[in-house]
Chains A and B, each alone.
Chain A
Amino acid sequence: MNAELRSRLESIVGPGLVYGPGEPVDGVRPTLAVRPGTQDEVSAVVRACAEAGAAMIPLGGGTSLGLGNPPARADVLVHLDRLDRVVEWDPANLCISAEAGMRLEALQALVAKDRTVLPLDPPGLRRVTLGGMVAANPSGPCRLQYGTVRDWVLGMRVVLPDGERIHCGGRVIKNVSGYDMNKLFIRSLGCLGIITEVTFKLLPMPARRAAVIGRFPDAATAWAVVGRTLASFLLPEALEFLNVEAAQLLGGPPGTCVLAVSLSGSSETVDRQVRDFTGFFQDGGGTADVLQEAAASRAWEGIRDLLEGAYDPILCRIAVPLSATPALVAAAEGMAREAGLKAVVTAHAATGVLRVLLAPGADPHPGEALMVLEGLRREAEAAEGSLVLEAAPRSLKARFDAWGTPPGGVDMMKRLKTEFDPLGICNPGRFVAGI
């Protein structure tokens, strides 16, 4: 099959753009890798794979490659890096369509020229591609104000597992012409098809930006300030909590945790919020450092990417109802300590989403890490939340499902998978419940 499929793929994309074996995904090495250059070529590649019964793994910037379970099968790695063009840019109507392999950072730099923004800030933003971001649904601190990918995608083009090309949504904010098919593909981890183009809505660029970084003697004082913020009228873009271990990575005095706010808007509202937050932080027993413009942006990059780039990380994302966040942070610290590990925790403090990095890396302590993850998952699920593995060594993944207890509607999810991908060739086995 391989030689035949290889020559077929070469005939679609050209000889230099098929190679083998592909880069490993969770230790599974695809026999071939292919780099299509257009959406039509993606369609032809998928059709060829479907006819050969070959399992495909779509790949963007690779930032979410650790998310989910190891692939059940992997024959062809489909790199989307050559699909990096802007398809249509309409600044006056605040929307842009671009191909899936375009980097988020490149798109943001482009739209900034017209003083607009796409306010999504996933970790590792420099490497994240549009398609990867839509498929894997990572989120950054600014989800507090702006929500997640699902709130910004107006439309997309997808190549279905049989090679058929479809278009979902459109270019307008309000669109109820049939089902909202975008939602089916957002966060589906590429297991219902390959996203080839995305249309986003944009926002006018705020006039000003600032940050207030506070240090607190303990978590309780920091969470009290979070509570006060939530009860206020203030509208921070992001409110991020870093536990003592995470704050240490960011630099600064040891033994303190950090609460940071990002503010943007008109001069008047930024000034007001800088003033109010400085007051909140100091009244709450913390310090307050005010950063403006570029310095504020740099500080936020640091916070956003704090947990990226660790060698051989065990990294999980926990989402719980907002009020359960402090308890989950404390549980992560407590369980890690008992297991002889450290928990580096960052939390989107006003949305109930936290990320936990267990250090040191897994290999010296596989059993201990497993125990911590299992305990944390129990706590998260008891609070009606979830724990999802974002990265872990394969040995650990073999003993710990990346997604946890299947969600409501899982039978319907499996049926959708079978309907759209009857051959089971689109990123098989990596998603929820073995999908």
Chain B
Amino acid sequence: MSEQAFIRDLREIVGGSNVLASSVDLQLYQYDGYLEEHRPEAVVFVQSTEEVAKVVQCCNRHGRPFVPRGGGTNLTGGTIPFGGGAVIEMIRMNRLLEIDIPNLRARVQPGMFNLELGNALAPLGYQFIPDPASQKAATLGGNVAENAGGPHCFKYGVTSNHVLGLTVVLPDGRVEKLGGKAADIPGFDLTGLFVGSEGTLGICTEVLVKVVRQTESVKTLLAIYDSIEEGSETVSAIVAAGMVPATLEMMDQLVIHAVEASLHCGLPMDCATLLLIEVDGLRDDLESQAAAISDLCRAHGAREVRVAKDDAERALLWAGRRGAFGAVARLAPSFLVCDGTVPRTALPQVLKKVSQVAAKYDLRIPNVFHAGDGNLHPLILFDWRDADMKARVLKAGMEILSLCAELGGTISGEHGVGLEKLDAMRLVMSEADIQAQRRVKTTFDPANLANPGKIFPAKEVACER
């Protein structure tokens, strides 16, 4: 069937104005936060589970691939329509369906922004824990697809730990409800399998999450260092002392300068690195925890430790951290967000090696990351108009991922594999491991229409089944 028939059928399902197919419109959906571009045939704005199901069925009839897209904040190319076909834009499915405090659950549509759910729960005294730095623009469906967490993962677990049920449209267009409000629904944990599957197993159209009571009290500290090693050693020292801060974030001098220039948070400009540490829980021991952490920071070389006096000061410090990726845009026309994880104690080592990689490829690489989780984000700066530089960026990125793998870590902490890391998968997985994942993909999506071209590296001939 021709492209015209495909688009005509899509328009019949969602209405003419909800399908974009002009050249200019399609150009806007051929990229996300990663560096590749592939043009879709159509962009379809959907409003309901039924519409998503019909659109997916239509894609099946026409043999066209489809990729769900929310805020487009994904950084590994996961929402780039590699095989063409339809981009299914979920952003209008953004309603809060239910807040069920007696059962500590909330049910939302996937197009809702992460921060909006937080804002809806806060006045009731409750919260949804996963809070990616991009939470203003990242949708909950995207959080589910990428298992994208944020600063609180260290103490409270990743997104997957907070998602209890999903309504999904499977790649053949069938609708299934997975999991539910009750615990331990019998059967395989398909909800858990679906979270982090990057839109390759289907599209979630409703998300059921765990909400928790807000903590009684919070204390936020800023530790200031003249050397990166001392900062990263402190991270392990805090954990070794038996403390589990709610967050343990780190940023280096390049990032601090960019943040100050954009957001004026009052960060010191002459230090090498900062640790943003937050402890939360019952108010009774927060003073003593903060004091113990301050002492540890000083013992490990911090020249100063500031404690936020009030909510306003605390908000300012967090604005700096959350705005860091945006602020770094001041430093160069483009940057590649590298996302790898190492065991926490390997942080000093890997940071040193990242700076060696920067020197080797003649690149600037600022760092801002979740130190408590060992999840680093070297931001490789470049100019997208410089082809030679872009090639060096990709090599540097791959080298950093290899380092993470060698040190016992992995190639992605929260941004997924997408298009960026297909080849990197082999750094942490055997052919048999990859083959087992492929079997899951094939079971869910035998026609390979759900976000094709993502996650799986090219097959090795020996392992053809």
Q: Could you list which residues of chain A lie within 8 angstroms of chain B, going by C-beta atoms?
A: 90, 92-95, 115, 137, 139, 143, 147-148, 150-151, 160, 164-168, 170-184, 186-188, 192, 203-205, 207, 230-235, 265-269, 271-273, 317, 319-323, 351-353, 383-386, 388, 403-404, 406-413, 415-416, 419-420, 431-433
Q: Are A170 and B157 interface neighbours, CB within 8 A?
A: no
| Cβ of A144 to closest chain B Cβ, rounded Å | 11
How far, in angstroms, from A343 to B370 measured CA to CA in the complex?
49
Closest chain A residue, CB of each to CB of B102: A323
A-B CB contact pairs (8 Å), 21 listed: A92-B344, A92-B345, A148-B184, A167-B430, A174-B153, A174-B341, A175-B410, A176-B417, A177-B429, A180-B196, A233-B215, A266-B285, A268-B288, A273-B282, A317-B184, A386-B186, A407-B187, A408-B178, A412-B170, A419-B439, A419-B440
Give the number of A-B contacts (CB < 8 Å).
265
How far, in angstroms, from A419 to B189 measured CA to CA in the complex?
16
**B326 CB-CB contact with A under 8 Å:** no
Q: A174-B375, A177-B428 are in contact. Are A352 and B414 (CB under 8 A)?
A: no
The residues of A that contact B186 with a CB separation of less than 8 Å are: 386, 388, 403-404, 407, 432
How far, in angstroms, from A180 to B455 measured CA to CA in the complex?
12
Q: Are B176 and A409 interface neighbours, CB within 8 A?
A: yes
How far, in angstroms, from A9 to B147 measured CA to CA in the complex?
42
Q: Are A174 and B413 interface neighbours, CB within 8 A?
A: yes
Closest chain B residue, CB of each to CB of A155: B410
The residues of A that contact B149 with a CB separation of less than 8 Å are: 174
| Cβ of B32 to closest chain A Cβ, rounded Å | 16
Which stretch, B10-18, B36-44, B57-65, B235-243, touches the partner chain A? B235-243
Within 8 A of A (CB), among B73-129: 100, 102-105
**B343 CB-CB contact with A under 8 Å:** yes
Of the residues B190, B341, B433, contact of A172 by C-beta under 8 Å: B341
The residues of B that contact A272 with a CB separation of less than 8 Å are: 282, 284
The residues of A that contact B424 with a CB separation of less than 8 Å are: 177
How far, in angstroms, from A166 to B438 measured CA to CA in the complex?
13
The residues of A that contact B288 with a CB separation of less than 8 Å are: 266, 268
How far, in angstroms, from A183 to B444 measured CA to CA in the complex?
16
| Cβ of A434 to closest chain B Cβ, rounded Å | 12
How far, in angstroms, from A160 to B215 measured CA to CA in the complex?
43
**B425 CB-CB contact with A under 8 Å:** yes
Q: Are A385 and B414 interface neighbours, CB within 8 A?
A: no
Q: Are A167 and B176 interface neighbours, CB within 8 A?
A: no
| Cβ of A332 to closest chain B Cβ, rounded Å | 16
The residues of A that contact B153 with a CB separation of less than 8 Å are: 173-174
Of the residues B178, B185, B284, B412, contact of A269 by C-beta under 8 Å: B284
Q: A181-B436, A266-B288, A266-B289 are in contact. Are A407 and B185 (CB under 8 A)?
A: yes
Of the residues B201, B282, B343, B433, contact of A233 by C-beta under 8 Å: B282
The residues of A that contact B214 with a CB separation of less than 8 Å are: 233
Q: Are A235 and B344 interface neighbours, CB within 8 A?
A: no
Q: Are A412 and B176 interface neighbours, CB within 8 A?
A: yes
The residues of A that contact B435 with a CB separation of less than 8 Å are: 164
Q: Are B183 and A413 interface neighbours, CB within 8 A?
A: no
Q: A166-B436, A269-B285 are in contact. Are A175 and B236 (CB under 8 A)?
A: no
Q: Are A173 and B374 interface neighbours, CB within 8 A?
A: yes
How far, in angstroms, from A317 to B183 measured CA to CA in the complex?
11
**B135 CB-CB contact with A under 8 Å:** no
| Cβ of A161 to closest chain B Cβ, rounded Å | 11
Q: Are A179 and B412 interface neighbours, CB within 8 A?
A: no
The residues of B that contact A176 with a CB separation of less than 8 Å are: 146-148, 196, 412-417
Of the residues A177, A179, A267, contact of B410 by C-beta under 8 Å: A177
The residues of A that contact B373 with a CB separation of less than 8 Å are: 172-174
Q: Are A94 and B239 interface neighbours, CB within 8 A?
A: yes
Q: Which of B181, B288, B373 has the most CB of A within 10 A?
A: B181
Q: Are B180 and A384 interface neighbours, CB within 8 A?
A: yes
The residues of A that contact B161 with a CB separation of less than 8 Å are: 147, 150-151
The residues of A that contact B148 with a CB separation of less than 8 Å are: 176
Of the residues A207, A233, A352, contact of B183 by C-beta under 8 Å: A352
Q: Are A187 and B189 interface neighbours, CB within 8 A?
A: yes
**B244 CB-CB contact with A under 8 Å:** yes
How far, in angstroms, from A150 to B192 measured CA to CA in the complex?
9
Q: A151-B161, A204-B239, A432-B186 are in contact. Are A90 and B343 (CB under 8 A)?
A: yes
The residues of A that contact B216 with a CB separation of less than 8 Å are: 233
**B303 CB-CB contact with A under 8 Å:** no
The residues of A that contact B344 with a CB separation of less than 8 Å are: 92-94
Q: Are A321 and B103 interface neighbours, CB within 8 A?
A: yes
| Cβ of A76 to closest chain B Cβ, rounded Å | 23
**B342 CB-CB contact with A under 8 Å:** yes
Q: Are A171 and B440 interface neighbours, CB within 8 A?
A: no
Q: State the 4 A-B residue pairs at the shortest beta-carbon distance, nearest first.
A: A183-B192, A174-B413, A233-B216, A204-B242
The residues of B that contact A184 with a CB separation of less than 8 Å are: 188-189, 192-193, 440
The residues of B that contact A137 with a CB separation of less than 8 Å are: 184
Closest chain A residue, CB of each to CB of B195: A180
Q: A92-B344, A160-B436 are in contact. Are A183 and B189 (CB under 8 A)?
A: yes
Given contacts A384-B180, A408-B176, 18 further A-B contacts (CB under 8 A): A92-B240, A92-B344, A139-B184, A166-B433, A172-B342, A176-B413, A178-B429, A179-B197, A180-B160, A180-B192, A180-B193, A269-B282, A317-B184, A352-B103, A353-B184, A384-B182, A407-B187, A409-B178
The residues of A that contact B437 with a CB separation of less than 8 Å are: 178-179, 181
**B5 CB-CB contact with A under 8 Å:** no
Q: Are A384 and B433 interface neighbours, CB within 8 A?
A: no
Q: Are B215 and A205 interface neighbours, CB within 8 A?
A: no
How far, in angstroms, from A388 to B444 measured CA to CA in the complex?
27
The residues of A that contact B180 with a CB separation of less than 8 Å are: 384-385, 408
Q: Are A413 and B188 interface neighbours, CB within 8 A?
A: yes
The residues of A that contact B442 with a CB separation of less than 8 Å are: 419
| Cβ of B22 to closest chain A Cβ, rounded Å | 35
The residues of A that contact B434 with a CB separation of less than 8 Å are: 178
Closest chain A residue, CB of each to CB of B191: A183
Of the residues A94, A166, A233, contact of B432 by C-beta under 8 Å: A166
**B158 CB-CB contact with A under 8 Å:** yes
The residues of B that contact A150 with a CB separation of less than 8 Å are: 160-161, 189, 192
| Cβ of A266 to closest chain B Cβ, rounded Å | 4
How far, in angstroms, from A386 to B165 measured CA to CA in the complex?
15
Q: Are B105 and A321 interface neighbours, CB within 8 A?
A: yes
Q: Which of A179, A187, A266 has the most CB of B within 10 A?
A: A179
Q: Which of A150, A168, A383 has the most CB of B within 10 A?
A: A150
| Cβ of A330 to closest chain B Cβ, rounded Å | 17
Q: Are B374 and A233 interface neighbours, CB within 8 A?
A: no
Q: Are B282 and A204 interface neighbours, CB within 8 A?
A: no
**B411 CB-CB contact with A under 8 Å:** yes
Q: Are A319 and B185 interface neighbours, CB within 8 A?
A: yes
Q: Are B183 and A319 interface neighbours, CB within 8 A?
A: yes
The residues of A that contact B177 with a CB separation of less than 8 Å are: 408-409
| Cβ of B438 to closest chain A Cβ, rounded Å | 10
Q: Are A178 and B414 interface neighbours, CB within 8 A?
A: no
Q: Are A416 and B440 interface neighbours, CB within 8 A?
A: yes
| Cβ of B181 to closest chain A Cβ, rounded Å | 4
How far, in angstroms, from A432 to B189 measured CA to CA in the complex?
12
How far, in angstroms, from A352 to B190 measured CA to CA in the complex?
21
Of the residues B102, B158, B188, B193, contact of A322 by C-beta under 8 Å: B102
How far, in angstroms, from A265 to B185 measured CA to CA in the complex?
31
The residues of B that contact A92 with a CB separation of less than 8 Å are: 236, 239-240, 343-345
The residues of A that contact B411 with a CB separation of less than 8 Å are: 177
Closest chain A residue, CB of each to CB of B292: A266
Q: Are B413 and A268 interface neighbours, CB within 8 A?
A: no
**B213 CB-CB contact with A under 8 Å:** yes
Q: Are B443 and A406 interface neighbours, CB within 8 A?
A: no
Of the residues A171, A186, A235, contact of B189 by C-beta under 8 Å: A186
